[in-house]
Chain A
Amino acid sequence: MNNIGVLMTCPMSEYLENQLENRFNLFKLWNHSAPKPDFLKTHSSSIKAVVGNTKIGADANMIDSLPNLEIVASYSVGLDKIDLGKCKEKGIKVTNTPDVLTDDVADLGIGLALAVLRKICVCDRFVRSGNWINGDFALASKFSGKSVGIIGLGRIGSAIAKRAEAFKCFISYHSRSKKPNTNYKYYSNIVDLAADCQILFVACALTEETHHIINRKVIDALGPKGILINIGRGAHVDEPELVSALLEGRLGGAGLDVYENEPNVPEQLFSLENIVLVPHVGSDTEETSKAMADLVISNLEAHFKCKPLLTPVL
């Protein structure tokens, strides 16, 4: 398969790069100083697969420039950077990396909630600054027993619920439709969900419907004692509204892994102590990165050997 052209869209995993280089003719989009459209024209006919991620996937332009594209294997579970309609139209297969990253993303969600409520990062700064000598730290807020709202009760949402239950949290959720087989309380209206919970997790896929699903109404309903945890996509949240709510104290706090314009984070947030900011690391562990890469490789190999795909989306 060494003559099969595979295009990697951006650096995402050294391990994956090496594995792809060993098996295929790997093109690294970021190494080519020529503007992307020119580069794509030169090599396009040999490229049969694209490996993308949450930063750069496969949009309509890219798909159109690669006439022999057969498969897009995403190093992510989210598909918002892939033009699925175009892929379907052209019969291009799409795979992603579900399940292997579910635990890590859920762990991070809970970790962010604990960090915000118990002020773990602020405490750490306090100790490192040497200020403990001068006086005790102020009280934080309890996590156990709080009411939790989850938007999207898929794999990741369910994993968050399972963890929160161990802390005796009361679980409610909003989903496109009510899920059978759960005891959690269903809300068809997100504003009502936000009003009734103290910690709100965003764990749904990004689609046209869920764009800015966290808007001013939802933020105000969550309120000055409420915490928003976003481990979905930046575009789930109306970011300017979120920033002003935090600055004005209309929202109690936030733990964010994703932003509307990564890697740019609104600088007004940097002075706030009731938020925790991490750079899109939801699935960034040694173990999971390797598992995701292996899944990408397995899907590509299966495709080129005409075997069933492991985790097809299309």
Chain B
Amino acid sequence: MADKEPQQPEELPIVLVHRLPSFKIPSDPSFRDQLRSQFHMLDPHESPEPYDSFLARHAPFIRVLMTIGPSPISAEFLERLPVLELIVATSAGLNHIDLPACWSRGIVVTNASLAFAEDVADCAVGLLIDVLRRISAADRFVRGRLWPVKENYPLGFKLGGKRVGIVGLGSIGSEVAKRLLAFGCTIAYTSRNKKQSVSFPFYANVRDLAANSDVLVLCCALTKETYHMINKDVMVALGKDGVIINVGRGSLINEKELVQCLVGGDMGGAGLDVYENEPNVPKELFGLDNVVLSPHCAVMTPESFEA
């Protein structure tokens, strides 16, 4: 951001940071600095004062609230902020916020959804290219000083022409589709409902999508219905050369069965940003060159948070 004259804290717009104690503002120093240089951040959890009295004391001045992660906002909580006008959510989903209560108060709720969607889509595409073209494995090969010794490196697979099945064609899934079309992939999808305005082929269930795809990209929310939706059946349908990219939630996949398939050589590969029991990642995957592992950071860019 441009160099600005540092303003007195009292003159800056006040933003309440609303978070469960376990969620933290991303620790990136430039992000924190930017927040602090432009806004007077009030964080009850960073104050020695008891939460209730801190909130009551500042409430008459709080017009903007920023939520960190899916920290819940209930109608009852909203009542404690009589002049609140704007809620900025830092997550893509909004189901932790009582939206009808906001709307009836005329409170605007916004999220960095598109910025997030772009970042997650970039991550998904990056993981897919890495798995097919073995970029991380090749980087290990070179840094391991193996190139002069082994001369040749195993071939990868072409991205163009691959049939990509997107699971969940929301904002993230749409951004993934846009990008992969430019690489010459064909797109099909499954979703709770067929999207009328979309021309990609629709499959009513994920197993049929898998049977007609070379790659599955998981971009949907985790719900009762989608829990473990990617199981051994689906992986078998996807085929021995199939690749799964997961930027949704770990529990979309039956992780035990995924590990079995990958270790057993029954799948082409996987690019994973999420896992069933983060930060624990099945160690059996560590020795595989056709797997790329990311520590749930699909959304972690400063530019995304600035949005």
Residues of A within 8 A of B (CB): 11, 103-104, 107-108, 110-112, 114-115, 118, 120-121, 123-128, 132-133, 136-145, 162-163, 165-168, 262-265, 267, 270, 276-279, 281, 284-289
From known contacts A138-B28, A286-B158, infer whether A120 and B280 are also in contact, taking CB-CB under 8 Å.
no
| B143 lies within 8 A of A270 (CB) | yes
In the complex, which residues 132-147 of chain B have their Cβ closer than 8 Å to any Cβ of chain A? 132-136, 138-143, 145, 147
Complex: A114 Cα to B295 Cα, angstroms: 16
The smallest C-beta distance from A295 to any residue of chain B, in angstroms, reads 15
Q: List residues of B whose CB falls within 8 A of some A CB.
A: 26-28, 31, 118-119, 121-123, 125-127, 129-130, 132-136, 138-143, 145, 147-148, 151-153, 155-161, 178-179, 181-184, 278-281, 286, 292-295, 297, 300-304
B139: chain A residues at CB < 8 Å are 115, 121, 276-278
Q: Which of A110, A114, A285 lies in contact with B158, CB distance below 8 A? A: A285
The total of interchain contacts (Cβ-Cβ below 8 angstroms) comes to 177
In the bound complex, CA of A81 to CA of B301 (Å): 42
- Interface pair B129/A110, CB less than 8 Å apart: yes
Candidates A120, A132, A287; contact of B130 at CB < 8 Å: A120
Between-chain CB contacts (< 8 Å), 14 pairs? A118-B123, A120-B126, A120-B135, A123-B293, A124-B136, A139-B28, A139-B31, A139-B301, A142-B122, A142-B303, A145-B303, A163-B182, A264-B148, A267-B145
Question: Which A residues lie within 8 Å of B161 (CB)?
Answer: 287
- Measured between C-beta atoms, what is the minimum distance from A11 to chain B in Å? 7
What is the CA–CA distance of A58 and B214 in the complex, to the nearest angstrom?
A: 40
List A contacts of B143 (CB < 8 A). Answer: 270, 277
Report yes or no: A128 in contact with B280, Cβ–Cβ below 8 A: no
Cβ of B293: which chain A residues have Cβ within 8 Å of it? 123-124, 127-128
Chain A residues lying within 8 Å of B126, measured Cβ to Cβ, are 111, 114-115, 118, 120, 143
Question: Given A162, A263, A265, A276, which contacts B135 in the complex, CB threshold below 8 Å?
Answer: A276
A134 to chain B, nearest CB (A): 9
CA distance A231 to B64 in the complex (A): 47
CA distance A145 to B297 in the complex (A): 19
Which of B31, B134, B135 lies in contact with A112, CB distance below 8 A? B135
Report whether B142 and A279 are in contact in the complex, using a CB–CB cutoff of 8 Å: yes
Residues of A within 8 A of B119 (CB): 142, 144
On whether the beta carbons of A114 and B181 are closer than 8 Å, the reply is no
- Which chain A residues border B156 with CB–CB below 8 Å? 281, 284-286
Are B294 and A123 in contact, with the CB atoms below 8 A? yes
Q: Given A264-B148, A265-B142, A278-B135, check contact A118 B183 (CB 8 Å).
A: no
